Amino acid sequence: MKNEIAKVMAGSIAEEVGIEVGDKLISIDGNEVKDIIDYKFLVTDEELLIEVEKKHGEVWEIEIEKDYDEDLGIVFREAILDKPRSCHNKCVFCFIDQLPQGMRETLYFKDDDSRLSFLQGNFLTLTNMSEDDINRIIKYRISPINVSVHTTNPELRIKMLNNRFAGNIYEILKRLSEAGIKINTQIVCCPGLNDNEELVKTVEDLYKLYPNVENVAIVPLGVTKHRENLPKLHLFNQQSAKTQIELIEKLQNKYEKENGTPFARLSDEFYIVSGVSIPEEDHYGSYEQLEDGIGMIRLLKSTIEDTLPFLEKNHKGSFTMVTGASAYEVIHEISLEIMKANGKINLEVVKVNNDFFGNTITVAGLLTGKDIIEELKKRKLGDYIIIPSNVLRRGYELGSTEELILLDDYTVADLEKILNRKIIVCDYTGDDLIDLINQYTEED
């Protein structure tokens, strides 16, 4: 229900003036509240006149005096409040177009909404935005936003996104940058399209907008076995992945000297495919691009080194640890380090191949419940099964295993019932892993 209030914080202004769960916020100072961004912008003043529709339909006008920037203490049922804006592109590499039929409807929705970029970190293309939308980002200081650039070559971007309005991306980025909007950018790199010289040119163009364009994440395209009736695309191989690393490394060295940042970073998959060593920890800064798969392996290795001394040496227990094909070697190596530090712990790492999407998809974050179950059914399992948190479609902090949903609608509770084991959800960072092992082992 639009603008419906789901929670009123105890001791808040909203509670004091009689706002209740189920009420609807209509306006603030005569301005319609369309979404949470409107709300956050309009609620800052010290004196407000708000309109609230009560559950029984009566409309209240409430005058409020408060401190500047003090919140009213309400939580909306939906952050967007109206319908999120869908994407009108038909990108040649779109992963959603490669999903099999029969999955839940929400997985097929392509959003391209600047509000979701600000609120949830989603990437948008800026092709579906009106002049009013751009002005609103600037007026409300919606920052940072995440933008899928892919290329700054106008003709190539129109071709890759299959949208005749996609070619003016650089002008929009420049305008937002000049207005002080902070922007994180992403390039889905496709061999034969926007790689090699095109990739270098795009990174160089974006760097001209630094520091408001804060960084570039470069990730390889993903191709599933369900890619039917779509343009034929090729995957990176060892040599082509190595070429991209070498080309970007030259720019990284240059930018490091100029501003102390590599600016553009490649996802871990480029290094795994090419066989090139993962960069050292200082390359990744504060790991702000982890959601793009950039720096996960280095973070895991570094945190294991730091936290392994805290492993309980007199505990015993056994675990089965799930991962995808791309990270298997690293996770297996870490498991050996843990067992070397405490020989009473048995930690078996299981590589789960992705039959659901096809063996070209190797990242753990796209594993499904069915594939995990089928692989683990073949094995003698430990006392506990550890799965990475990024396989879940909803945050593991929710707590209830019935709420923790994998990509194919299996819940963690389903896995526990079928495999007859307690499932432990882990961030696959060293500190989280060691903490959980200590928690779920017993003193010998």
Backbone angles phi, psi at 47, to 5 degrees: -125, 125
- Residue 317 has a pLDDT of 96
- Sequence spans of domains, the chain: 5-76, 96-294, 301-443
C-alpha to C-alpha distance for 41 and 56, rounded to whole angstroms = 28
- Buried/exposed code over 270-309 (b: 16+ C-beta within 10 A; e: otherwise): bbbbbebebbeeeebeeebbebbbbbbbbbbbbbbeebbe
Beta bridge partners of 188: 219
pLDDT in tens, the chain (444 residues): 578 888 888 889 999 999 999 999 999 999 888 777 778 778 888 999 999 999 888 999 999 999 987 889 887 776 554 555 556 667 777 766 656 665 555 554 444 444 444 444 467 888 877 788 788 888 878 788 889 999 999 999 999 988 898 899 999 999 999 999 999 999 999 999 999 999 999 999 999 999 999 999 999 988 777 677 777 888 999 999 999 999 999 999 999 999 999 999 999 999 999 999 999 999 999 998 888 889 999 999 999 989 999 999 999 999 999 999 999 999 999 999 999 999 999 999 999 999 988 888 888 888 999 999 999 999 999 999 999 988 887 554 445 666 788 888 899 999 999 999 999 999 867 788 999 999 999 998
Three-class SS of residue 146? Answer: strand
Model pTM above 0.85: no
Task: Tell me, rounded to whole angstroms, the distance of Cα 432 from its chain centroid.
Answer: 19
- Both tokens of residue 77? 């049922």
- CATH, domain range 5-76: 2.30.42.10
Is 301-443 the same fold as 5-76?
A: no
Three-class SS of residue 374? Answer: helix
- Buried/exposed code over 69-96 (b: 16+ C-beta within 10 A; e: otherwise): eebbbbebeebbbeebbebebebbbbbe
Q: Tell me if 394 sits within 8 A of 405, measured CB to CB.
A: yes
Region label for 221, one of left (φ > 0), alpha (ψ between -120 and 50) or beta (otherwise): beta
- Residue 48 has a pLDDT of 93
Which helix (DSSP H) or strand (DSSP E) does residue 381 occupy?
Answer: none
Three-class SS of residue 184? Answer: strand
CA count, 13 A, side-chain hemisphere, 410: 18
- Residue 102 has a pLDDT of 58
- Residue 99 has a pLDDT of 64
- Residue 19 has a pLDDT of 93
- Residue 163 has a pLDDT of 87
Give one DSSP letter per residue of 77-131, joined into a string. S-SSSSPPPBP----TT-SGGGPPTTS-GGGG--B--HHHHHHH--EE-STT--H
- Residue 444 has a pLDDT of 82
- CATH, domain range 96-294: 3.80.30.10
- CATH, domain range 301-443: 3.40.50
Q: Single out the residue of 248, 245, 243, 236 nearest to residue 273, CA to CA.
A: 236
